[in-house]
A and B are shown apart, each in its own frame.
Chain A
């Protein structure tokens, strides 16, 4: 009986071998798939909250915008946002069950300590060592952000402000209105968090939406900066005479007039057209001289159509930015469609851009035609606060030769000194920009825009875009006023250091 007994022994070993092989399959080969399964949230959470998530710091004096506080619960650390609404959209939130947003989402791996830099810490983790995630020092300027947040909140229900350094692309302020308090979302009482989230989601004004980067709006007359760039590229100059007048009717289209109060003579220079924001001159210029292709090329040069733009680190990643678009300006037969081109030239038809794109437009002009990659992350520090990453500003594109950029810059300064953007003027800096009033197509009131820049001692120190959604008449001058204040705050912040 020993022979079959031995074989039974071998059979048992084979069965155990199968168990062992299968364990390898489940715990090694498939481990990542199982670990990251959408049905594994219960486990991931506990592990995630065991480690102290790193803080997000803002401003020159490293104010804490997001930090983890120890609790005595099973989820050991609770995420808190000490300044509540002020940084809500850009910093984002990291709730227990709800998906994260903003930098909290974009830099999740680093904050949570899961990034490659933390390999040693994770090993240490296995032996019960305390561990914390990485710290993020952002580029944001506290005075600029605070000014933008407060002015925007007081001026409108809905809108956005973006300010950045034209020379580097470092974002100085990013505000969206209405804002919200991220703290209830991060509550460990997941029921309360879900209720808070539901309330915000269902709000008609969409407070969770980051209008600065995630939403596109018709730019209105702001688009004339792009028209002017196209004209300069086509060999025209500030003094080139255009045909203006009270009305322009493109071939096969309806008439286009000027905004109330705009005085636009029949003969008007390119510069003057920009300064007074003459619709008829630009519509005719685009439809009859420049053509759709030149317009689209100029827009693309400033970043329209870039569907890969993100704002995080200069070398990639971060918060995705909605693609600004010009739409189709051609008919089905491939020929220009004059009414659409004429409308697009004044930022209507299907043209739509994000407030960030508006700020980039102004920044590029101010920075001698060089567009820098916008970024939010200045420095990453590991658990021991050693810098493991420092932002290296990166050139994104170069849509204008320096000379043309300088010409355009001077023309935009004229808009503030002697045109529609007078409200943006501040002392101690040369401010240039362009206003915009965009019809929204529906019943909604017009959007008010201002994009501009400030130059101190010949250096472009800040560029800004302000959007007041459905602000109605007077919106663009209010936007210009806010833009001036934000620029002032950004300059003050730079000067103090």
Chain B
């Protein structure tokens, strides 16, 4: 099988008419409108924050929103050229999330912990918010570069083995490096970083994408073998024993991530990502069950071992205990999750209003807990809106997978979208007390350049696939750069 050839033959024009009915309407126009709306929301948020915290509207409140608007406008123009048929919802949705993230980080910069002091204005490019603004610039440029280089998503599969190897190395690397380089600033036990001088990156964020591309390639090739039925049990076809190899390898890898890096979140993400893709590729529900069983068995074991022998498992056991009882150690191990819950509860239905809450009561709220901090100020209604935008992003990704014609594209889009969805579930579930807390960033919102860049690359890939999916079935030659609908 030639990798670059679609495994599904191109359907006849009427059947695959994804672009049908849209031919006369340019999706990019809708995108532009939505982008303007998103940036207005960000500017409004920034204004409300300043009115609350500074009690006056500084002359520069609109600057971050304007910088972002220009940036996303550039991305929008790039899409007109590089991917004219791409889903018009993806970019505005990400722009809104990223923009609110920047505005909220800036709001945290303005907050003071000293009750006798009023906040003072900060320069636009300083603090976490300013850094995030710069990172957004880098990430959007990166995403446009990916779109420019990857003109056809199928070309990725040519580098699948390279990406797989790079992904593996990136994934394991921090675990092998000494803690002085790799340990997290805030959580000594988790080793997620590579720090060199003033620069630090979280390779795991990129490893995730590289491995995903590899899985998509590998599973498309192996799907026939993997879907051969072995034993039938409880109405489900289980795979043959010898075909369990790859899933066991990935399971062991994810357990290694758990032990070596003390990173339950990533471990869960890798396994979930692989199992879901395996399921999509083989259409065998038994893979899902095997995956769930392996993961539950693994985590249960880790929990029990954590209580029995401690060591690398202790961190996880403690998090489960804190999840079961947030009031366990209010000023110690459960301080962060407890304050997150109290903040969410204080926000209630409507929230305290932007700038009017005390999100800094949650230590390190700018990282994993940003959603909880935001929830105190925008309330259940605001968070529900954010949740809808996140869900929109994920379902639009899956939709691209459904519509695209080649198997690799389907699997890649499905994998990317599901991984994004799973990550959102794991971290948001963690900070809102639905599941035990695991360290993952909130996509597009948490402070940090690595995660932002990686997720923008993810969106670039989804845009690329959706462009292929929505392209009219018989496009005019050279339509990739064309301006005709």
Task: Select which of B345, B353, B375 is within 8 A of A32 by beta carbon.
Answer: B345
Kindly specify which of A14-22, A391-399, A447-455, A476-484 makes contact with the partner chain: A14-22
Contact (Cβ within 8 A) A27 B283: no
CB of A120 closer than 8 Å to a CB of B = no
Contact (Cβ within 8 A) B428 A19: yes
CB of A9 closer than 8 Å to a CB of B = yes
Residues from chain A with a CB closer than 8 A to the CB of B424 are 16, 19
Residues from chain A with a CB closer than 8 A to the CB of B349 are 27-28, 31
Interface residues on A, range: 35 or more
CB of A388 closer than 8 Å to a CB of B = no
CB of A2 closer than 8 Å to a CB of B = yes
Q: How far is the CA of A361 from the CA of B407 in the complex (A)?
A: 93
CB of A37 closer than 8 Å to a CB of B = yes
Q: How far is the CA of A27 from the CA of B347 in the complex (A)?
A: 7
Residues from chain B with a CB closer than 8 A to the CB of A11 are 418
Contact (Cβ within 8 A) B432 A18: no
CB of B434 closer than 8 Å to a CB of A = yes
CB of B398 closer than 8 Å to a CB of A = yes
CB of B379 closer than 8 Å to a CB of A = yes
Residues from chain B with a CB closer than 8 A to the CB of A3 are 283
Q: How far is the CA of A8 from the CA of B275 in the complex (A)?
A: 11
* Residue in B closest to A18 when the chains form the complex, CB atoms: B434
Q: How far is the CB of B216 from chain A (nearest CB, A)?
A: 11
CB of B327 closer than 8 Å to a CB of A = yes
Contact (Cβ within 8 A) B418 A43: no
Contact (Cβ within 8 A) B279 A4: yes
CB of A61 closer than 8 Å to a CB of B = no
CB of A6 closer than 8 Å to a CB of B = yes
CB of A386 closer than 8 Å to a CB of B = no
Q: How far is the CA of A34 from the CA of B119 in the complex (A)?
A: 27
Q: How far is the CA of A73 from the CA of B276 in the complex (A)?
A: 53
B 386-417 contacts with A by CB, 8 A: 387, 390-391, 394-395, 398-399, 401-402, 407, 410-411, 414, 417
CB of A96 closer than 8 Å to a CB of B = yes
Task: Select which of A18, A33, A39, A46 is within 8 A of B429 by beta carbon.
Answer: A18
A13 in contact with B356 given A2-B402, A26-B344, A34-B341 (CB within 8 Å): no
Q: How far is the CA of A3 from the CA of B402 in the complex (A)?
A: 9
Q: How far is the CA of A22 from the CA of B410 in the complex (A)?
A: 31
Q: How far is the CB of A45 from chain B (nearest CB, A)?
A: 8
Q: How far is the CB of B247 from chain A (nearest CB, A)?
A: 16
Contact (Cβ within 8 A) A27 B345: yes
A23 in contact with B395 given A5-B402, A28-B349 (CB within 8 Å): no
A 23-66 contacts with B by CB, 8 A: 23-24, 26-28, 30-35, 37, 39-40, 42-47, 49-50
CB of A256 closer than 8 Å to a CB of B = no
Kindly specify which of B95-103, B109-117, B309-317, B454-462 makes contact with the partner chain: B109-117
Contact (Cβ within 8 A) A27 B348: yes
Residues from chain A with a CB closer than 8 A to the CB of B390 are 16
Q: How far is the CB of A49 from chain B (nearest CB, A)?
A: 8
Residues from chain B with a CB closer than 8 A to the CB of A96 are 115
Interface residues on B, range: 35 or more
Q: Classify the interface of chain B: helix, strand, loop or mixed.
A: helix
Residues from chain A with a CB closer than 8 A to the CB of B279 are 4, 7-8
Residues from chain A with a CB closer than 8 A to the CB of B48 are 128
CB of B30 closer than 8 Å to a CB of A = no
Contact (Cβ within 8 A) A27 B380: yes
Residues from chain B with a CB closer than 8 A to the CB of A12 are 391, 394-395, 398, 417-418, 421-422, 425
CB of A1 closer than 8 Å to a CB of B = yes
Task: Select which of B116, B361, B376, B398 is within 8 A of A5 by beta carbon.
Answer: B398
Q: How far is the CA of A30 from the CA of B425 in the complex (A)?
A: 21
Residues from chain A with a CB closer than 8 A to the CB of B171 are none
Contact (Cβ within 8 A) B330 A39: yes
Contact (Cβ within 8 A) B112 A74: yes
Q: How far is the CA of A9 from the CA of B330 in the complex (A)?
A: 38
Contact (Cβ within 8 A) B283 A9: no
Please, what's the 1-or-0 string for A67-101, where 1 marks a CB less than 8 Å from any CB in chain B? 00001111100000000000000000000100000
Residues from chain A with a CB closer than 8 A to the CB of B348 are 27-28, 31, 35
Task: Select which of B116, B346, B350, B432 is within 8 A of A23 by beta carbon.
Answer: B432
Residues from chain B with a CB closer than 8 A to the CB of A385 are none
Task: Select which of B352, B411, B432 is within 8 A of A47 by beta carbon.
Answer: B352
Contact (Cβ within 8 A) B346 A43: yes
* Residue in A closest to B7 when the chains form the complex, CB atoms: A1
Task: Select which of A5, A15, A16, A40 is within 8 A of B410 by beta carbon.
Answer: A5
CB of B83 closer than 8 Å to a CB of A = no
Contact (Cβ within 8 A) A22 B433: yes
Residues from chain A with a CB closer than 8 A to the CB of B379 are 27
Q: How far is the CA of A188 from the CA of B52 in the complex (A)?
A: 20
Residues from chain A with a CB closer than 8 A to the CB of B327 are 39
CB of B74 closer than 8 Å to a CB of A = no
Q: How far is the CA of A282 from the CA of B450 in the complex (A)?
A: 90
Q: How far is the CB of B341 from chain A (nearest CB, A)?
A: 6
Residues from chain B with a CB closer than 8 A to the CB of A15 are 421-422, 425, 429
Please, what's the 1-or-0 string for B429-461, where 1 marks a CB less than 8 Å from any CB in chain A? 100111000000000000000000000000000
Contact (Cβ within 8 A) A26 B345: yes
Contact (Cβ within 8 A) B342 A35: yes
Most buried by B among A11, A22, A43, A45: A43
Q: How far is the CB of A46 from chain B (nearest CB, A)?
A: 5
Q: How far is the CB of A249 from chain B (nearest CB, A)?
A: 62
Q: How far is the CA of A2 from the CA of B404 in the complex (A)?
A: 10
* Residue in A closest to B287 when the chains form the complex, CB atoms: A4
* Residue in B closest to A6 when the chains form the complex, CB atoms: B402
CB of A443 closer than 8 Å to a CB of B = no
Most buried by B among A8, A11, A16, A188: A8
Q: 24 A-B residue contacts at CB 8 Å?
A: A1-B283, A1-B407, A5-B410, A8-B279, A8-B418, A12-B417, A13-B395, A15-B422, A16-B391, A18-B425, A23-B380, A26-B341, A26-B344, A26-B345, A27-B349, A28-B349, A31-B347, A31-B348, A39-B327, A39-B330, A43-B376, A71-B116, A128-B52, A188-B116
Beyond A2-B410, A16-B391, A26-B341, 20 extra complex contacts between A and B, CB < 8 Å? A8-B280, A8-B418, A9-B395, A9-B398, A9-B402, A12-B417, A15-B425, A22-B433, A27-B344, A27-B347, A27-B349, A31-B344, A34-B341, A39-B342, A43-B357, A43-B361, A46-B115, A47-B352, A73-B116, A188-B116
Chain B contact residues, CB within 8 Å of chain A: 48, 51-52, 112, 114-119, 276, 279-281, 283, 327, 330, 338-339, 341-350, 352-353, 356-358, 361, 375-376, 379-380, 383-384, 387, 390-391, 394-395, 398-399, 401-402, 407, 410-411, 414, 417-418, 421-422, 424-425, 428-429, 432-434
